[in-house]
Amino acid sequence: MAAAAALGPGPLRVGFVGAGRMAEAIAQGFIRAGKVEAQHIVASAPSDRNLCHFQALGCQTTHSNQEVLQSCLLVFFATKPYVLPAVLAEVASVVTTEHILVSVAAGVSLSTLEELLPPTTRVLRVSPNLPCLVQEGSVVMARGRHAGSSEAKLLQTLLEACGQCEEVPEAHMDIHTGLSGSGVAFVCTFSEALAEGAIKMGMPSGLAHRIVAQTLLGTAKMLQQKEQHPAQLRTDVCTPGGTTIYGLHALEQGGLRAATMSAVEAATCRARELSKK
DSSP 196-256: HHHHHTT--HHHHHHHHHHHHHHHHHHHHHH---HHHHHHHH--TTSHHHHHHHHHHHTTH
In angstroms, the CA 148 to CA 39 distance is: 28
Is 79 among the annotated ligand-binding positions?
yes
Is 80 among the annotated ligand-binding positions?
yes
Is 35 among the annotated ligand-binding positions?
no
In angstroms, the CA 5 to CA 188 distance is: 41
Nearest 10 degrees: Cα torsion 125, 130, 135, 139 = -30
Q: Which amino acid is at 184?
A: V
CB 16 within 8 A of CB 65: no
Binding residue positions: 65, 78-81
Residues that constitute the known binding site for NADPH: 65
Positions at the binding site for NADP(+): 78-81
